[in-house]
Amino acid sequence: MARKRVAILISGRGSNMVALIEAAKEPGYPAEIVLVVSNDPAAAGLARAQEAGIPTAVVDHTPFGKDRAAFEHALQRELEAHRVDIVCLAGFMRLLTPWFVRQWDGRMLNIHPALLPAFKGLDTHRRALEAGAAEHGATVHFVVPEMDAGPIVVQGAVPVRPGDTEEALAARVLAVEHRIYPQALRLIAEGRVTVDGGICLIDGKPLPAAAKHKQT
Ligand code: GRF
């Protein structure tokens, strides 16, 4: 089966992007990274993608001002020009309109640094600490118009330890992110994931508990 053509959308350092690029180098991985796009020309991830030999593009949102539709049409043109099958958001900090989300329905993933549906939005590590959560983690999910709300493909949990700082917790979660994003993309690219009533099925079965990668 032909490998799926994947674009990664970033706004920053791109460590999840690097994890996906590394995974896709493995023989037999069902996806190839054909493009990295940043909305921020200063994103550090761009240089890391170039070092890895991946074509990059910048679609700067600033000249479009409040015209999200025009920005997204420019983005869509880049994705179409590279014949992209699947889009992975990896620290991409723009909200997307329902129009754009519809173009990629069932073909766009995001990684969120919390165990959704807990802690949608920003500052997840700080909020998990403040809430006294015993467990925290990361989620790869399909993108739907509502933010951080789509069907969950893979989650990975970590313990919150006594005395944890935001930085320590973030680092523990990030290591899990780097593991579960390539795993989720593999499942999608292999066509093993279907969505039934907002729930992901893998090989026709509900998310196995084994998809949770607990760390001690
Ligand atoms: C990650 O924590 C990701 O979960 C969130 O933004 C951060 C991006 O980090 N959506 P990086 O750019 O992949 O290093």
How confident is the model at residue 215, as a pLDDT?
Answer: 45
Ligand 1 centroid to Cα of residue 16, in Å, is 6
Residue 124, classed as helix, strand or coil, is helix
- Is residue 136 flagged as an active site residue? no
Ligand 1 centroid to Cα of residue 174, in Å, is 8
Residue 214 has pLDDT above 60, yes or no: no
As a whole number of angstroms, the distance between CA 120 and CA 184 comes to 19
Q: What is the pTM of this model?
A: 0.96
pLDDT band for 1, please (50, 70, 90 cuts).
confident
How confident is the model at residue 210, as a pLDDT?
Answer: 44
* Sequence ranges of the chain with CATH classification 3.40.50.170: 1-104, 110-216
pLDDT digit string, tens, across residues 180-207: 999 999 999 999 999 999 999 999 998 7
Residue 14, classed as helix, strand or coil, is coil
Contact assessment for residue 188 and residue 154, using Cβ atoms and an 8 Å cutoff: no
Instruction: Please identify which of the residues 112, 125, 141, 178 carries the catalytic annotation.
Output: 112
- Report which ligand 1 atom has the smallest distance to the Cα of 89: 10
How confident is the model at residue 116, as a pLDDT?
Answer: 97
Cα distances from 171 to residues 74, 118, 180, 208, 212, in angstroms, run 34, 19, 15, 25, 18
Residue 213 has pLDDT above 50, yes or no: no
For helices 15-24 and 44-51, what crossing angle results, to 10°?
20
Question: Best substitution site from 109, 147, 166, 174 to test ligand 1's pocket, by max atoms within 8 Å of Cβ?
Answer: 174
Q: Count Cβ neighbours within 10 Å for each residue of 78-97 and write b for 16 or more, e otherwise.
A: bbeebebbbbbbbbbebebe
The CATH architecture that domain 1-104 belongs to is 3-Layer(aba) Sandwich (3.40)
Q: Whose structure tokens read 């403040």? A: 130
In DSSP terms, 146 is beta-bridged to none
pLDDT digit string, tens, across residues 25-75: 999 999 999 999 999 999 999 999 999 999 999 999 999 999 999 999 999
Cβ(90) – ligand 1 distance below 6 Å: yes
pLDDT digit string, tens, across residues 79-129: 999 999 999 999 999 999 999 999 999 999 999 999 999 999 999 999 999
Which residues 6+ apart lie within 8 Å of 100 measured at CB? 72, 75, 76
Ligand 1 centroid to Cα of residue 188, in Å, is 20
Cβ(14) – ligand 1 distance below 6 Å: yes
Counts for the chain of helices (H) and strands (E), in that order: 6, 10
Question: Best substitution site from 8, 15, 88 to test ligand 1's pocket, by max atoms within 8 Å of Cβ?
Answer: 15
Domain spanning 110-216: which CATH class is it, in words? Answer: alpha beta
Ligand 1 centroid to Cα of residue 139, in Å, is 11
If one counts every other C-beta atom within 10 angstroms of the C-beta of residue 120, the result is 15
Q: What percent of the chain has pLDDT over 70?
A: 96
How is 52-106 classified by DSSP, letter by letter? TT--EEE--SGGGTT-HHHHHHHHHHHHHHTT-SEEEESS--S---HHHHHHTTT
